A and B are shown apart, each in its own frame.
Chain A
Amino acid sequence: MSELAITGFSASYGSFRAVADVGLTIAARAVTAFIGPSGCGKSTLLRSINRLHETVPGATVSGTVTLGGEDLYGRAVDPVEVRRRVGMVFQRPNPFPGLSIRDNVLAGVKLRRHRLAKAAADNLVEVSLRAANLWDEVKDRLGKSGTSLSGGQQQRLCIARAIAVEPAVLLMDEPCSALDPLSTLAIEDLMASLRQDYTVVIVTHNMQQAARISDATAFFSTDGPRQPGRLIEYGPTTTIFSRPAEQATADYIAGRFG
């Protein structure tokens, strides 16, 4: 199964420790939200799950992350292989410029040098775009540039691109923060359907969004600037939002800080 287990996990940029001693288990086929004030390390933790954190010069980690029981940070594990299993969608839509909508969806497969028959490619494009709720809007212009789409459509194109390589986990780093309310709604609807097939982890600053779409919520916070982020509370979203155990969680959710 594609359950994620994070234990004793810390991540640093050089001498700055961004995340300290985090442990949580993320259920498969569910949406888990990471919330917390800026600088609490939630994005860093997210980027550690697909080992993108370590691509930053000077970045280090300690602790373990397992996916379905396999250690993602194992000695013999190729980080590139990890990223094939754990897809990611970024804050700003980033389709490849100069690639058509179709080629953007196929980018992950093609860049890995996989050969694909035209029929199989057509099928993959349609399935991925349908899964990203974008097919009906773009099916007549698959040859157009990916950057010609609106911001919300571009973000769904990026989701389709991530889905096309058939990952087990989908990480989303504030996927709606650059989008208008209608596009946000489209992405939120999409996430509700994605949870049937993927383990979805989303970082969001929008607490209503976390409450609307997630099954479980993890609240992170820090003791101050340049202090490492810590996991304060983790549990079912309804519990976190209605009866939080920690005062800090209650304060944050009530909008008293962050």
Chain B
Amino acid sequence: MSTQAPAPDQMSLSTSALLPTPAAAPDQTSAPAFAFAQVAMSASSHVPAHAAASPGGRVFPALTGARPAWRRRFANRFAAIVAAAGCLAALIPLGFLLAAVVSRGAARFDLAFITQTMRGVIGAGGGALHAIVGTVFITAATICFSVPLGLAAAIYLVEYGRGKLARTVTFLVDVMTGIPSIVAGLFAYALLSLLLGPGVRSGLAGALALSLLMTPVVIRASEEMLRLVPDDLREAACALGVGKHRVITQVILPTALSGLVSAVMLGVARIVGETAPLLLVAGFTDSMNLNLADGRMATLPVYIYSQWQNKGLDAAAYDNRAWTAALLLIGFVLILNLLARLAGRLFAPGAKRHARAS
């Protein structure tokens, strides 16, 4: 602290800030608090503040100027700006990507695109109905495989799993999370080749490959959500003489439901844009295929790839279709996310989710 007298405005600040303390302080501390006030007043009468000692012998410097406040303010402001800049930097590519997809996808964003297939289309025209249907079908089938499996595994890990088996499962799930998608595709392809003969392609095979990718994501995410359910609730239900399976299905799962919905959404987001495994096992077709179990089935990511890869004479028409399909794919993920948030809000504790119980 400088030996110079504080500037008048700082002085008045310190006096007004410290004078009320004796009144506010409890009795036993009023003596040192009063000493504070004297420090402040002595500062105003040009006596160096740090020289004043409290009755206990401890020296209290005046608050003003002891440690420049601007330094903390500056550091705080600086950190906030860096964090905000990082956030912005991450958003810039996203903004460009969205702008590019929207502007280029707009050319073919018409009714024909979502009502027609590519059957018999050469050059301009045509649509992606078959790919939209394929993506919806395969995603739905993947959810049907992965969610029960993933949820069951997560419940096992959180509610039952102990010791070596649980650790092994956790380890395998971690390994599975890192499987490259092409490997999952090759696995599904090899499996079906062994079972049904070589070269078999179907939407179901695609769903099988994608389940391999989605299940570990669902396990990990729902495990986290189930662990968030407080043990209080488990014990409360348990102490009421409720069997463990009823505790899990009636108390824990409903409590975690909104989180579990987002866990599933995380998994869907992981697989909905997958191209490589689908290219291998679901293949590509220009025609509508409504049978998951038989024959090639187009999906939006594979549609994008094939439009871009196999351009005909009117290359612009193929490019435009690819961009519009990309736009649709992003829209699809967005809609799923919004639905999940809506579902999360509807199912959140506090909403009337137990109305059916009464």
Which residues of A pack against B, CB within 8 Å?
A: 50, 52, 55, 57, 80-85, 87-88, 90, 92, 94-100, 102-103, 106-108, 110-113, 121, 145, 158, 161-162, 165
With contact pairs A57-B162, A111-B246, A111-B250 given, residues A103 and B358 touching in the complex (Cβ less than 8 Å): yes
Q: How far is the CA of A146 from the CA of B233 in the complex (A)?
A: 13
Across the interface, which residues of B come within 8 angstroms of A85, CB to CB?
Answer: 241
- Interface residues of B, count at CB 8 A: 28
Instruction: Report which of B162, B255, B357 forms a contact with A97, defined as CB distance below 8 A.
Output: B255
Question: A107 with B239: in contact, given A57-B162, A99-B354, A102-B358 (CB under 8 Å)?
Answer: no
A124 shortest CB reach to chain B, Å = 12
B350 within 8 A of A: yes
Distance between B236 CB and nearest chain A CB, rounded to angstroms: 5
- Least CB distance, A116 to chain B, in whole angstroms: 9
* Among candidates B232, B241, B354, B357, residue contacting A90 with C-beta atoms closer than 8 Å: B232
Q: Are B242 and A111 in contact (CB under 8 A)?
A: yes
- Complex alpha-carbon distance, A110 and B240, angstroms: 11
* CA–CA, A158 and B243, complex, Å: 19
Docked-complex contact B241 and A97, CB < 8 angstroms: no
Q: Is B237 an interface residue (CB 8 A)?
A: yes
13 CB-based A-B contacts, threshold 8 Å: A52-B238, A90-B235, A94-B232, A96-B251, A98-B353, A100-B354, A103-B354, A106-B358, A108-B240, A108-B241, A111-B250, A121-B358, A162-B240
19 new A-B contacts at CB < 8 Å, known A84-B241, A98-B349, A161-B240: A52-B238, A80-B241, A83-B238, A83-B241, A87-B239, A90-B239, A94-B232, A94-B236, A96-B233, A98-B254, A99-B354, A100-B354, A103-B354, A108-B240, A111-B237, A111-B246, A111-B250, A112-B240, A165-B241
Residue from B246, B349, B351, B358 whose CB has the most chain A CB atoms within 10 Å: B358
Contact A94 B233 (CB under 8 A): yes
Are A113 and B238 closer than 8 Å at their CB atoms?
A: no
Which of B239, B246, B353 is A88 in contact with, Cβ under 8 Å? Answer: B239
Q: How far is the CA of A96 from the CA of B232 in the complex (A)?
A: 9
Q: Provided the pairs A94-B235, A96-B233 are in contact, do residues A110 and B349 lie with their beta carbons within 8 angstroms?
A: no
Is B246's CB under 8 angstroms from A112's CB?
yes
Residues from 264 to 285 in B contacting A, C-beta threshold 8 Å: none
- Which B positions have Cβ atoms within 8 angstroms of A? 162, 230, 232-233, 235-244, 246-247, 250-251, 254-255, 348-351, 353-354, 357-358
In chain A, what residue has the closest Cβ to B347?
A98
Chain A residue at minimum C-beta to C-beta distance from B351: A98
Contact A83 B239 (CB under 8 A): yes
**Which residues of chain A have C-beta atoms less than 8 A from B230's C-beta?**
94
Q: Which of B236, B239, B247, B358 has the most CB of A within 10 A?
A: B239
- Flag if B242 contacts A108 (CB, 8 Å): yes
In the complex with contacts A90-B235, A98-B254, A98-B255, A83-B357 CB distance below 8 A: no
Alpha-carbon distance between A145 and B348 when the two chains are bound, in angstroms: 13
State whether B246 touches A97 (Cβ < 8 A). Answer: no
Q: How long is the Cα–Cα vector from A111 to B242 in the complex, in angstroms? A: 6
A113 to B240, CA, bound (A): 13
**Shortest distance between the CB of A189 and any CB in chain B (Å):** 23
Closest chain B CB from A159 CB (angstroms):
12
Q: How far is the CA of A83 from the CA of B348 in the complex (A)?
A: 29
**Is the CB–CB distance between A112 and B254 below 8 Å?**
no
Minimum C-beta distance from B357 to chain A (A) = 6
Bound together, the chains give a CA A97 to CA B238 distance in angstroms of 16
- Interface contact A158-B236, CB-CB below 8 Å: yes
Q: How far is the CB of B164 from chain A (nearest CB, A)?
A: 13
A161 to B241, CA, bound (A): 12
CB contact under 8 A between A111 and B251, given known A80-B242, A98-B349: yes
A145 touches B350 (CB 8 A): yes
Contacts of B255 in A (CB 8 A): 97-98
Provided the pairs A97-B349, A98-B353 are in contact, do residues A112 and B241 lie with their beta carbons within 8 angstroms? yes
Docked Cα-Cα span, A165 to B236, in Å, equals 13
Tell which of B162, B232, B240, B348 touches A111, judged by Cβ atoms closer than 8 Å. Answer: B240
Tell me which residues across on chain B come within 8 A of A52, comparing CB atoms.
235, 238-239
* In the bound complex, CA of A57 to CA of B162 (Å): 8
Q: Look across to chain A and name the residue whose beta carbon is closest to the beta carbon of B357.
A: A110
- A96 partner residues in chain B, CB cutoff 8 A: 233, 236-237, 251
Leading 5 A-B pairs by shortest Cβ distance: A84-B241, A98-B349, A108-B240, A88-B239, A83-B241
